[in-house]
Amino acid sequence: MLTPTLPETKPIKLSVRDMAFSYGPKKILDGLSMDIHAERVTAIIGPSGCGKSTFLKCFNRIHEVAADVDVSGDIQIDGVDIYRGGIDVVDLRRRVGMVFQKPNPFPKSIYENVAFGPRLFGVKDRETLDGIVEDALRKAALWDEVKDRLKESASGMSGGQQQRLCIARALAVNPEVLLMDEPCSALDPIATSKIEDLISELKESLTIVIVTHNMQQAARVSDYTAFFWLGRLVEMDLTERIFTTPKVQMTEDYITGRFG
Amino acid sequence: MPQAPEVSIAAAPEGGYPVLEEGLRPAAASAPTFKHSRLQRLADRWAHLGFLICSLLVVVLIGGILYFLATRGLAAFLPLAGNTGRALSFSEVFLSADWAPSSDRFGILPFIAGSLGVTGLALLIAAPAGVLTGVFIAKMAPAWMRNLMRQVMDLLVGIPSVVYGIFGLTVVLPLVSRTWLADAPASGFAVSALILAVMIVPTIVSLSTDAFESLPAALDEGAQALGSSRWQAIWRVLIPAARPRLLTATVLGLGRAIGEAMAVQMVIGNNPQWMALMRESTDRAPFLRALFTPAATLTTELVQELPNTAAGSTWNNVLFAMGLLLYLLTMVLILATRRLGRGKEA
């Protein structure tokens, strides 16, 4: 029971097979397998400490920044294992963008924040950069709000704007997958609904994996939902089914608020 | 006119709102009263007075030093009471390189240039080294090394400067003169700056380590999630983000360097005529030569000459003027540090 039985037309973008993750002697994730389809939104839900964020971070190997960790099993993007076979981590991170829990704009101007990624990859031409920045800001539904103050510091923006800026920053390097780690947990309801609208638009061209604490959010934005508990995948199915007719009792108990 | 909506206010439940269980209720009348005794209140007042006196003492001390320095230092230029020497003009003191007190010539330019030169050179070595070491400790070193390095740096900050001076005099100077200068004396800017740099690096390292550690981890992660290499994240995001605090660290190092007397005096060669010497030399590499010409700074000259001059003489007054200049320079640096520190929060 890896993928729900439905006539899925989109190809598999990310596939995870029997994956385990440990940090020192502590096992965080174990025996995980799932398929994530391209141009779909997959939501990961589960109580705090169940390993959802850790799972997300395995897709761009960003956990390697903070600590030595041990990942076993297979994680593939387009059929290529991202932990072995000489894959370039920098290229992986360009293809797999990430938006974090708290907006983390760099202490630079709005323009420089978005141009940061392209500059890393050697784009120097001013006109090309201008184009990329505008395009990314438009995709993140931020252009109209900031087009007259691109040179201003990003720290002067509201939390919701900062988070959309971070999305624009991630989009500027043209990723194939966007990982979102509770992107709305620090935002008010209006900013949250803007981000949710954005997710629905972005999935036209991107694979999105979103970790969320908010059950309604998972129900609103995602096509698939995976429920994690204590580092294991309990159930994954079409979001509709998870929220109406889950197969596992524990899933039902969690989404109806009986525990977690 | 629109009708005001009818508002209904729910009536309080009979017997009032339910009260929280035991423990959160206000203390009953029979509860003991908590009050300070007369003695405690008296002690409090006296302690308050004691603290006030101590802090006032510090203010008075600092003000007193400034007053003392200013009256004695300005006496070089003004015909003040008790002044046995002649009053000099500002230009013949600050703009002249001719220091010959016994011939009544008091140009202190060599010392100003000496102080700025040594300090500048030291900073040129210490600032990049300190900041990069800070990056290393905060962002790259494994935990055990981070702890070790931090403790070593804190120890190094506390070593008396004369110890650095001994090291320079007995190890570095002979080494340099034997290795590159064919037994000529190596004293001068190069070795002084090196010793000073070694002295201030720990300060800069400590403060820049703090600066990098206080940056949110999200910045580092964010940069690397976009495909930055370790180095690109440091160079393009972390260093710019920490810049105000790095500048503060550097200015504090600068402050320590410019005020340092002992260590520098032991290795700089103490030659007030170094500028004249430079002018006479026909060397083809004047800058390199300047690095190894025995020189002098404001601080070293004060240490050398102040004990040998009569109070109230012009010579003595000019030395005080140099002291005043140092005081003001340090003040400016401290104020600049405050400024930079504030810039961080803005």
Lowest mean pLDDT among A225-229, B262-266, B305-309, B310-314: B310-314
B242 to chain A: nearest residue by CA?
A: A107
B333 within domain boundaries: no
Lowest mean pLDDT among A34-38, A159-163, B76-80: B76-80
Same domain, B26 and B172: no
B183 within domain boundaries: yes
Confidence of residue A87 (pLDDT cuts 50, 70, 90): confident
Q: Is A121 in Cβ contact with B227 (below 8 Å)?
A: yes
Across chain B, what does the average pLDDT equal?
A: 83
B25: containing domain: 1-36
Across chain A, what does the average pLDDT equal?
A: 89
Q: Is B227 in Cβ contact with A65 (below 8 Å)?
A: no
Q: Is A62 in Cβ contact with B227 (below 8 Å)?
A: no
Same domain, B146 and B280: yes
pLDDT at A115 over 90: yes
What is the distance in angstroms between the Cα of B192 and the nearest Cα belonging to chain A?
38
Same domain, B27 and B170: no
Same domain, B258 and B136: yes
Are the C-beta atoms of residues B123 and B257 closer than 8 Å to each other? yes
pLDDT of res. B236: 92
- Does B219 contact A at CB distance below 8 Å? yes
Model confidence over B85-98: pLDDT tens digits?
677 888 888 888 88
Q: Is A104 in Cβ contact with B219 (below 8 Å)?
A: yes
Rounded-to-integer distance, Cα B211 and Cα B134, Å: 8
Give the residue from B198, B316, B328 showing the smallest Cα distance to B267.
B198
pLDDT of res. A150: 93
What is the distance in angstroms between the Cα of B108 and the nearest Cα belonging to chain A?
44
Model confidence over B113-170: pLDDT tens digits?
999 999 999 999 999 999 999 999 998 888 899 999 999 998 988 889 899 999 988 9
pLDDT at A4 over 70: no
Confidence of residue B345 (pLDDT cuts 50, 70, 90): very low
Higher-scoring residue by pLDDT: A222, B14: A222
Residue A76's φ and ψ, nearest 5 degrees, are -120, 145
Same domain, B261 and B124: yes
A94 to chain B: nearest residue by CA?
A: B227
Q: Is B227 in Cβ contact with A106 (below 8 Å)?
A: no
Same domain, B132 and B243: yes
Q: Which residue has the tokens 């590159």?
A: B180
Rounded-to-integer distance, Cα A151 and Cα A174, Å: 23
B346 within domain boundaries: no
Confidence of residue B344 (pLDDT cuts 50, 70, 90): very low
Are the C-beta atoms of residues A211 and A182 closer than 8 Å to each other? yes
Chain A residues whose beta carbon lies within 8 Å of the beta carbon of residue B232: 120
B273 within domain boundaries: yes
Q: What three-state secondary structure class fits B31?
A: coil
Mean pLDDT of B262-280: 83
B96 within domain boundaries: no
Q: Global pTM? A: 0.77
Same domain, B118 and B259: yes
Model confidence over A169-190: pLDDT tens digits?
999 999 999 999 999 988 889 8
Same domain, B134 and B267: yes
What is the number of CB-based contacts under 8 A between chain A and chain B? 61
Q: How many domains does chain B have?
A: 2
Confidence of residue A71 (pLDDT cuts 50, 70, 90): confident
pLDDT of res. A97: 94
Confidence of residue A9 (pLDDT cuts 50, 70, 90): confident
DSSP A65-89: HHS--EEEEEEEETTEESSSTT--H
Confidence of residue B84 (pLDDT cuts 50, 70, 90): low
Same domain, B150 and B4: no
Same domain, B22 and B137: no
Confidence of residue A1 (pLDDT cuts 50, 70, 90): very low
B216 to chain A: nearest residue by CA?
A: A104
Q: Is A102 in Cβ contact with B227 (below 8 Å)?
A: no
Q: Is A106 in Cβ contact with B222 (below 8 Å)?
A: yes
Best residue in B212, B226, B234, B345 for a mutation probing chain A (most A CBs within 10 Å): B226
Model confidence over B215-260: pLDDT tens digits?
988 899 999 999 898 889 999 999 999 998 998 899 889 888 888 8
pLDDT of res. B279: 75
Same domain, B130 and B266: yes
pLDDT of res. B40: 87
Are the C-beta atoms of residues A211 and A184 closer than 8 Å to each other? no
CATH number of the domain that B164 lies in? 1.10.3720.10
B285 within domain boundaries: yes
Same domain, B243 and B123: yes
pLDDT at B34 over 90: no
pLDDT at A221 over 90: yes
Q: Is B221 in Cβ contact with A104 (below 8 Å)?
A: yes
Best residue in A87, A116, A181 for a mutation probing chain B (most B CBs within 10 Å): A116
B83 within domain boundaries: no
pLDDT of res. B346: 37
Is residue A237 within a helix (H) or strand (E), and if so which, with residue range?
A: strand A232-238
pLDDT of res. A106: 94
CB atoms within 10 A of CB B329: 19
B130 within domain boundaries: yes
Torsion of CA A88, A89, A93, A98, to 10 degrees: 160
pLDDT at A103 over 60: yes
pLDDT of res. B212: 94
pLDDT of res. B54: 95
Rounded-to-integer distance, Cα A259 and Cα A245, Å: 18
pLDDT of res. A142: 92
